[in-house]
C-alpha cells in the first residue's frame, strides 16, 4: 500500500506523546512534522524519537528567519538530523533562502509564503502587498529562484503556485481539514481531496488526526478517502 502524502503535525505536549502518535500514524502516512515548540522543548532528540525504526520522513518545521549567515548556521546544524524538509520564511529574502539551501544540500528547503492563519486584512496590517494570492505567487517565484525545492502555501493558492513554478517543486499545504472539521486558527483552508486536486504534493494535517480518540484510525480513514478520490494514493 502506498503511504498517503500527509505530514502529520505532531504538536504534542511531551516527547512520549509525540512518539506514540508517530508510531500510530506511520503505517498510513509518508511524513511526520516536528514544529518549533516541540523542537525547542526537547532538541534534536525529538527527531530520532518520532522517526523511530520506521525511517518515516521528518518535516522539521522551524520557519527560520534571520540574516543569511545565521540561517545558514542553523540549517547546517540541523542538517545532520537528516530531515526531509526544513522550513524557512520566504520573506527573509533570496540571499537567506540561498544560504539555507547551500548549507543543507541534502534537505529540501521549504519556503513558507503566507501563513495560513493570515487573512487579507492581516496582510495589509503587516505591510505585505496583497491580495494573498499575489503575495504568495511573488514569494514563490523569489524562493524557487533562490534555490528552494519546496513551497508552503494554502490549498487555496496551490493551483496558481503550481502554474507559477512548474511541476518540479514540492507544494506543501497546511490549512487542510477534513469536511466538517473545525478550522480552529486557520483562515484559508480546504479538504484533503480539494488540496490534492489543486496540485498539492504533501498535506499538513494535525488536530483532525492527533486529537482523534485513535490517531492511527483517523490517519487511515483520511488516507483511504484520498485513495478513493485519486485512485493513485
* Catalytic residue numbers, as ranges: 61, 63, 66
Establish whether 61 is an annotated binding residue. Answer: yes
Determine whether the annotation assigns residue 66 to a binding site: yes
Q: Is 65 annotated as a binding residue?
A: yes
Q: Which residue has the cell 530520532?
A: 48
Q: Does 76 belong to an annotated binding site?
A: no
Tell the burial category of 72 from Cβ atoms under 10 Å away from its Cβ (0-12, 13-18, 19+).
Answer: buried
**DSSP secondary structure letters along 48-103:** HHHHTTTT-EEEEEEEE-S-HHHHHHHHHHHHTT--SEEEEEGGG-HHHHHHHHHH
Q: 202 labelled as ligand-binding?
A: no
214 labeled part of a ligand binding site: no
Residue 68 labeled ligand binder? yes
Question: Annotation-wise, does 116 bind a ligand?
Answer: yes
Give me the sign of the Cα torsion angle 128, 132, 138, 142.
Answer: positive
Of 225, 182, 184, 185, nearest to 203 by C-alpha is: 225
Residues 6 or more apart from 32 whose CB is under 8 A from it?
A: 7, 8, 10, 21, 22, 25, 26, 50, 51, 56, 57, 58, 59
CA distance 27 to 7: 12
Instruction: Indicate the length of the chain as a whole number.
Output: 233
CA dist list (Å): 199 to 6, 43, 165, 186: 14, 33, 12, 20
Q: Is 69 annotated as a binding residue?
A: yes
Q: Is 87 annotated as a binding residue?
A: no
121 labeled binding residue: no
Q: Which three cell numbers stand for residue 79?
A: 542538517
Residues marked as binding for substrate? Answer: 11, 33, 61-70, 116, 177, 186, 206-207
Residues marked as binding? Answer: 11, 33, 61-70, 116, 177, 186, 206-207
Amino acid at each position: 500500500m502506498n503511504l498517503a502524502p500527509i505530514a502529520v503535525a505532531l504538536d504534542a505536549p511531551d516527547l512520549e506523546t509525540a512518539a506514540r502518535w508517530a508510531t500510530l500514524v506511520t503505517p498510513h502516512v509518508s511524513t511526520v512534522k516536528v514544529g518549533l515548540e516541540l523542537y525547542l522543548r526537547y532538541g534534536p532528540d525529538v527527531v530520532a524519537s518520532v522517526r523511530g525504526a520506521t525511517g518515516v520522513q521528518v518535516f522539521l518545521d522551524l520557519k527560520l528567519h534571520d540574516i543569511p549567515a545565521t540561517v545558514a548556521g542553523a540549517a547546517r546544524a540541523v542538517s545532520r538530523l537528516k530531515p526531509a524538509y526544513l522550513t524557512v520564511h520566504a520573506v527573509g529574502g533570496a540571499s537567506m533562502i540561498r544560504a539555507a539551501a547551500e548549507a543543507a544540500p541534502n534537505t529540501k528547503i521549504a519556503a513558507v509564503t503566507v501563513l495560513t492563519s493570515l487573512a487579507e486584512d492581516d496582510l495589509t496590517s503587516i505591510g505585505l502587498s496583497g491580495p494573498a494570492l499575489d503575495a504568495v505567487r511573488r514569494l514563490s517565484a523569489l524562493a524557487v529562484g533562490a534555490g528552494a525545492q519546496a513551497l508552503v502555501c494554502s490549498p487555496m493558492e496551490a493551483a496558481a503556485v503550481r502554474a507559477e513554478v512548474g511541476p518540479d517543486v514540492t507544494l506543501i499545504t497546511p490549512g487542510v481539514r477534513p469536511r466538517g472539521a473545525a478550522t480552529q486558527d486557520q483562515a484559508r483552508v480546504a479538504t484533503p481531496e480539494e488540496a490534492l486536486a489543486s496540485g498539492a504534493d504533501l498535506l499538513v494535517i494535525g488536530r483532525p488526526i492527533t486529537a482523534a480518540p485513535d490517531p492511527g484510525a483517523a490517519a487511515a480513514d483520511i488516507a483511504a478517502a484520498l485513495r478513493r478520490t485519486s485512485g493513485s494514493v
